[in-house]
Chains A and B, each alone.
Chain A
Amino acid sequence: MYLTKDEEKAIKGESGETIALAYRILLAIGEATDAEKLVPIEWAHVSGVNYNTIGDAGVRFLEEFSNDARTSVKTTINPMGFDRRRIQDLHDERFILKQMAIVKSYERIGAIPSFTCIPYEIFDIPPKGTFISFSESNAAVFSNSLLGLLTNKESALSALASSVIGKTPYSDLRMDSFRHPKIAIKPDFDLSTELDYGLLGYFAGKVVSESCVAFEGSNGSPSLIKSKALCAGIGTSGSCGMFTMSKNSSCKEVISCGNEEISTIKDELNTSEDGDIIAFGSPQLGMNELNLISQLVEHKKFTKRCMIFCPRSINIQATMNGITKKIEKAGAEFICDCCICLTPLITKENADSVITNSVKAAYYLNRSNKLTVALKDLENIMVDYTEAR
């Protein structure tokens, strides 16, 4: 990768060790993606905030890094491990202290304490074609595919390095030539609910190792809730960072995704028939989904504990227009700042099995939290687990 004279000086440590480290990260990912040069970005969204995801190594790294590192572009961050206003939910002082050390480091660096995995539903969206650096996988796929922003599927460290340097390698999905898929997936099953889209995405991530995939046969973009499920599915299982959607793609290679493929994916992710807790929000829910849930629970109540994960800002907005109240009346609880994935709020101590409509949640609840999962779509969950109030 070509470096300017100033960049070469910085990598040798002339601007300090922290800047040199950030450049070393960018150089490594630049080499890995065959980048020709670094280009400026306007926005970094950084993952690696929840203590359960980055551990003591992450706490230590961020403490040292935040001594000198400061953001040079707009920087938003992923969910943490719990809701800062409901600390009583978590009976684990050690976790709380470690988590707050991470939060402090990000605040020192200058990140906006957004604690969200759906920055695309909260912040102003830059014009199409803008370079960004997003490490939250669902947000990277969403930004590339639906907003026309340009990012690779970054790692927690590469997005962090870019937030400080303000640059990223010019490679892969940041170049037009990589944004035209060579492999297409043709859904050959009843693709109707958001869960179906999540399963399709998970399948696509598994079988496609290229950066961009086409989905064939669909009429236009799916709804926001289905798009989010698709992006989260793709981001969870593989390395693919973008999709396109059209009636017919011009791809030479077309892979069919039929009932057999979907049932194999379901067998992997749907590990229980039923559950003790209902969890919505991986990715975190936006106004769209909260609106839908509030309509579906009118005059009803949940028959099991229902946890709804959404960003603080969405929760405030929903409270202002009465949606929060409607959903809480049905017995559900709102949890902000965190999401289902790797949260210490859902563990073997409070549930054996979880009911969710999220493929991403199913994967992480099973692999990381070691819980079984009953995968059902939103409307079915509302039918099966609510009764008249």
Chain B
Amino acid sequence: MRINCRRIVGGVGIGRALITNQPINFLTMIDTNRGVIHDQFHELFGESIKNVILIFPNAIGSSVGAYSIYSLRLNGVAPLSMICSKKTDITTASGCAISNIPVVELIEPHMVSLVKAGSYIMVNADEGVITAS
């Protein structure tokens, strides 16, 4: 199955899909040393974002969340790629731009429901295509 998307930061990533419908505050919700979501109010509480394809609506809150994304990268616990299912925000775009993490935005947001949590997917930001099994 192929899903059309728009390139925000170029590159290619293959990994398991970790999906949430809740926005993420990268500064306060993530332990950047371990790459684990440690906000007990978030539905992904306790989940690792290391080497996954992170599918989330958009980032919220602090503007320094961009550095948190870079921390994840330097600590080796960053997602392989990010997919914004609603609207890519400036924090995600800029944090991923300096971390070389491919980012795409879905052209039709409802297509996110076709991706199975935990399944392998490939994000090709340069060609604007997500391939899901």
Q: Which A positions have Cβ atoms within 8 angstroms of B?
A: 21, 24-25, 27-29, 31-33, 47-48, 53-58, 60-61, 135-137, 152-159, 161, 205, 209, 236-239, 268, 363-364, 367-368
Contact = CB atoms under 8 A, between A and B. Distances in A.
Q: Would you call the interface of chain A mostly helix, strand, loop, or mixed? A: helix
B85 interface: no
Contact of B58 (A152, A236, A239): A239
Interface residues of B, number: 43
25 contacts: A27-B97, A28-B8, A28-B97, A28-B103, A29-B97, A32-B90, A33-B90, A48-B67, A54-B64, A55-B71, A57-B32, A58-B70, A61-B70, A153-B90, A155-B66, A155-B91, A155-B94, A155-B95, A156-B63, A156-B66, A158-B94, A161-B94, A209-B57, A237-B61, A238-B23
6 pairs of A and B residues whose beta carbons are closest in the complex: A57-B71, A28-B97, A32-B93, A32-B88, A157-B94, A135-B63
A31 B95 contact: no
Contacts of B105: 32
Contact of B28 (A27, A137, A156, A368): A368
Interface in B70-108: 70-71, 73-75, 86-98, 103, 105
B63 A32 contact: no
Given A209-B58, A363-B28, 13 more contacts: A28-B103, A29-B94, A32-B92, A48-B66, A55-B71, A56-B71, A61-B98, A155-B65, A157-B97, A161-B94, A237-B60, A239-B58, A239-B59
Given A31-B8, A61-B70, A364-B28, A48 B64 contact: yes
Contacts of A136: 63
B97 A25 contact: yes
Contacts of A56: 71, 74
A54 B9 contact: no
A157 B92 contact: no
Contacts of A21: 98
Contacts of A53: 27, 62, 64, 67
Contacts of A24: 97-98
Given A31-B7, A61-B98, A155-B95, A239 B89 contact: yes
B16 interface: no
Contacts of B63: 47-48, 135-137, 153-156, 159
Interface of B: 6-9, 23, 27-29, 32, 39, 41, 57-68, 70-71, 73-75, 86-98, 103, 105
A137 B96 CA distance: 20
Contacts of A152: 90
Contacts of B70: 57-58, 61
A209 B103 contact: no
Nearest to A139: B63
A164 to B, nearest CB: 13
A239 B8 contact: no
A371 to B, nearest CB: 13
A137 B25 CA distance: 13
B67 A55 contact: yes
Nearest to A65: B98
Given A155-B65, A157-B67, A209-B86, A60 B74 contact: yes
Contacts of A237: 60-61
Contacts of A27: 97
B90 A158 contact: yes
B93 A31 contact: yes
Contacts of A61: 67, 70, 98
Contacts of A29: 90, 93-94, 97
Given A31-B6, A158-B90, A238 B67 contact: no
A210 to B, nearest CB: 9
A154 B61 CA distance: 11
Contact of B66 (A158, A268, A368): A158
Contacts of B27: 53, 368
A322 B122 CA distance: 64
B52 to A, nearest CB: 20
Nearest to B63: A135
A74 B56 CA distance: 35
Contacts of B6: 31
A155 B98 contact: no
Given A31-B6, A239-B58, A155 B90 contact: yes
B32 A157 contact: no
B54 to A, nearest CB: 16
A137 B62 contact: yes
A154 B67 contact: no
